[in-house]
Structure 1
């Protein structure tokens, strides 16, 4: 059985998460195929939702641009401001492919209750199979 899950993308789109509402709205509008792996060329691979800046990063990487060309695009201060002020095109928005499954912005309590109910239903369904 599973020992844990990674659900950062899902928890960003909760009422309690202290990011700008534009970010949350962007998440619930995206599909799983709207992500890209970036920064592979410098050994810092991560997945981000496709936006203008991510396309710029991919263009730099495709031409062999190294760290010195990528740092201005992915620097922490740029990311911090984007998340704080909701400018979804000015920084890489690191999200998993699961972004396509996120369709609402519940409270953390509502999300956890839903997860528990879904897990219990799945356990019962599997129990009835065997």
Structure 2
């Protein structure tokens, strides 16, 4: 074992055919790069990573001036969910993403994605085996 016991791929699975989010959200994730995400919430003990948008910019401004949870909460609350995930408005609320967002380039089925993951893992294992 190389030490890895699992992977987190929630952002990648948003960009699958089976994921029932608005197509605008999927396209926004595909369009973005790693440097278009930010860490937020450290000042309130709730750190995460999100797509850079107007809401997160406001959160960062509040954190910079040492604002508290009550001031930040309206910008990150789950009440924005329907506006983002159902209507496709990616400039409001919190859109949590992983740091590998820049590696997502397409919308595929879950089956295709899993097959790709397995194939790429096998290729890496075979390549590494040859070095030892």
Q: TM-score, normalised by structure 2?
A: 0.94
SS of 1:94's equivalent in the other structure is coil
Tell me which residue corresponds to 1:28. 30
Is structure 2 residue 8 aligned with structure 1 residue 41?
no
Encode CA deviations 1:83-109: one digit per residue, 9 max, x unaligned. 121100111110011111101111000
Q: Which runs of 5+ in 2 are unaligned?
A: none
Does the CA-based 8 Å contact 2:75-2:93 persist in structure 1?
yes
Q: 1:129 aligns with which of 107, 128, 131?
A: 131
SS of 1:90's equivalent in the other structure is coil
SS of 2:19's equivalent in the other structure is coil
Deviation at 1:68, TM superposition (A): 1.2
| RMSD of equivalent CA atoms | 1.0
Q: Which runs of 5+ in 1 are unaligned?
A: none
Aligned residues: 130
After the TM superposition, which of the residue ranges 11-20 and 80-89 deviates more from structure 2?
A: 80-89
SS of 1:65's equivalent in the other structure is coil
Tell me which residue corresponds to 2:77. 75
Tell me which residue corresponds to 2:116. 114
Deviation at 1:40, TM superposition (A): 1.2
For residues 80 and 7 of structure 1, the distance between their equivalents in structure 2, rounded to whole angstroms, comes to: 22
